[in-house]
Structure 1
């Protein structure tokens, strides 16, 4: 296993990715909402047909279980919208985590107005906006 454990990676996804089922969400520090284990398990079973329990997901997240099947990793990755390589390749984990950080920064900055306006922009225009935001974000993250 690499520098990051499955538990750390799964915890990061729970903290960063928006919930699928709002009525079963749990709040944590900063008021951010995360999906419940039950909601994740139910969604995976319903949409992917992969048998998985909320207890097993909790065990993976807390490190009590650390050797999930490829089917479970694939299902969790699909639920959270990341490639399964997120769990298997630490370099991929770093890249995706950087993208998740950017999304969180955008959320925290209240950029919803920009997003709503961008919906009426051409795909090429949205790519340009996205690239500009990424460049600003990267420039502000560089050590001075």
Structure 2
């Protein structure tokens, strides 16, 4: 996702991304439920915050939460509130979240750890190889259509 794409994101997509990437401590496969997050947000704000309301925010059916609700969500998911309020910072946080999500995969983590001690030139070579493989896989998934 480019920085420009992230700045054009909806509130719903930002909230949903938190659910997709941030997982329970100790069990990186299990996602949080709407009810778990809503309950934690109620405890932080002292205000009404139901699982249904959270689902509505995640799906875009509601799009005007209070500042306190967004701050409670930021607190729960351990991201700065700026994730919701500042497009530039939100884009940077989105990139960090996507990296954390990718590192959850053991294969990606293994490659990243092995690359730590490589020279900048070697890292560039690896990056070029990954780009070439990604293009090849994309071509396989979407073969050119005959005219």
Q: Going by fraction, where is strand more abundant, 1 or 2? A: 1
Displacement of 1:108 in angstroms is 0.5
Equivalent positions of 1:31-50 (< 5 A) are 32-50=29-47
Deviation string, structure 1 residues 104-126 (Cα, Å, up to 9, x no partner): 222102649xxxxxxxxxxxxxx
Give 3-state SS (helix, strand or coil) of 1:33's partner.
coil
Displacement of 1:79 in angstroms is 0.5
Runs of at least 4 residues off by over 4 Å = 141-144
The number of equivalent residue pairs is 116
Conserved 8 A contact 1:50-1:75: no
Displacement of 1:33 in angstroms is 2.6
Change (3 A) 1:71 1:47: closer
Displacement of 1:57 in angstroms is 0.5
Give 3-state SS (helix, strand or coil) of 1:72's partner.
helix
Bigger radius of gyration among the two? 2
Change (3 A) 1:50 1:81: farther
User: Unaligned regions of 5+ residues in structure 1, if any?
Assistant: 23-30, 113-128
Q: Which of 69, 73, 77 is the aligned partner of 2:74? A: 77
Conserved 8 A contact 1:44-1:75: yes
Aligned-partner Cα distance in 2 for 1:50–1:106: 35
Q: Which of 73, 86, 90 is the aligned partner of 2:87? A: 90
Displacement of 1:70 in angstroms is 0.3
Displacement of 1:48 in angstroms is 4.8
Change (3 A) 1:71 1:48: closer
Q: Which has the higher contact order (CA 8 A, sep 6+)?
A: 2
Match of 1:123 in 2: none
TM-score (norm 2): 0.64
TM-score (norm 1): 0.65
User: Unaligned regions of 5+ residues in structure 2, if any?
Assistant: 1-6, 133-147
